[in-house]
Structure 1
């Protein structure tokens, strides 16, 4: 077991990621469901890659999520999170 986030933590992370995705598209109406699905995919991939764990603090989680979404956008991707930051606290745990 690698200290996966709780269901509540996962839900909160998805909500944060969905907010960032909505923000990126200017909060235009009609995209909330797509934002949520993309956020779920991104967060689940980050959890599977052990970028996000139960022990990751809220501030670090927010930064990692936002950075992963921004890096994906820069690379022209939408569903695959960025590679782990080897300098981050979570990468060492």
Structure 2
């Protein structure tokens, strides 16, 4: 699966929102959330590409579940 620029941007925006939600929308910044989300999404997309996961398989998992599957301790 290769994401378009628009798809990638939307994934990052959703992931950044979830990161902010996870920290209770308290201390921290939207920029930090965006940068962390960008790193996580790029890592996830690269892993998906390397493993040959199809767009259909990815869409079935959904972004939130996909983030859980591809979340690694290094990205925290």
What TM-score bracket applies, with the shorter chain setting the length? 0.7 to 0.9
Give the TM-score of the pair, scaled to structure 2. 0.73
Alignment partner, residue 40 of structure 2: 42
Q: Greater RCO between the two (CA within 8 Å, min separation 6)?
A: 2
Normalization by structure 1: what TM-score? 0.61
Q: CA RMSD in A?
A: 2.7
> 1:9-24 counterparts in 2 under 5 A?
9-24=7-22
Unaligned 5+ segments in structure 2 are none
- Count of equivalent residues: 71
Note the residue ranges of structure 1 that are not aligned, 5 or more in a row: 81-93
| Greater share of residues in helix | 2
Give every structure 1 segment of 4 or more consecutive aligned residues whose post-TM-superposition deviation is greater than 3 Å.
none
